[in-house]
Amino acid sequence: MSELIIFDLDNTLIEGDSDRNWGQFLVEEKLVSEDYLLESEKFYNSYYDGNLDIDSFLNFCLKPLKNNQMDKLIDIRKKFIDTKIKPIIRDKAMRTVLGEIRKNNKVVIATATNSFVTRPIAELFSVKELIATEFEIINNKFTGKVKGVPCFREGKLDKVNEWLKSHNYNLSDATFYTDSFNDLPLLEKSGKSIVVDGDDKLTLVAKENGWECISFR
């Protein structure tokens, strides 16, 4: 049977945060004001400090999606992927992901960032299985609401467990790669935990638990 390999996305497979880059891109494209970027930076810092209010952050992220038509959003997303994401893909990460796919292992990307932004990024890595925060869409338009549980901290673990219900894998046998202390709930339940260019807090916890620490840089 193939193995289950789960990868975090931001600052693990790519050199940066796709949500943060998306906010910067929206400002450059003049879809939001520069105040949006300032607010985005506050949320970004809260995330890395470990005290992000995920509900407030998602409401913030939803505003530009709700206020624009889907066709326009898809067009600018393509430009975003080409100009802001492709240049920051980590070569070593790409080789690792493709290597697992060639072994016929089941590869999943699990990310707190919403699926509208991250689905095409997963496709760049040839990964079909994406577990992400989902935004409600009705009549081809974002409603401004989150669909289900945000894929963040304990919520990421919950969404992975929900995915496992319809797939013949066990988390206790899975390998999980991530950089972030916020992923501790999933790291603690995974069979093998690998810290990739970890933040300071996670690196300390990794040493205490004997988890492997590697770099994709």
- What tens digit of pLDDT does each residue of 85-100 get? 999 999 999 999 999 9
In this prediction, residues 158-180 reach a mean pLDDT of: 97
Other C-beta atoms closer than 10 Å to the C-beta of 58 total 19
Count of structural domains, the chain: 1
Q: Is 212 helix (H, G, I), strand (E, B) or coil?
A: strand
Q: Is 4 helix (H, G, I), strand (E, B) or coil?
A: strand
pLDDT at 1 over 80: no
pLDDT at 9 over 90: yes
pTM reported for the whole predicted model = 0.96
Confidence band of 50 (pLDDT split at 50, 70, 90): confident
> Tell me, what's the pLDDT at 55?
93
Please report where in the chains the tokens 């910067």 appear, as a residue: 24
Confidence band of 36 (pLDDT split at 50, 70, 90): very high
- Give the residue numbers marked as catalytic: 8, 10
CATH number of the domain bearing residue 206: 3.40.50.1000
Residue 118 contacts by C-beta under 8 Å, 6 or more apart in sequence?
Answer: 9, 18, 109, 111, 130, 132
* Tokens, residue 72: 């326009």
> Tell me, what's the pLDDT at 37?
87
Domain that holds residue 176: 4-214
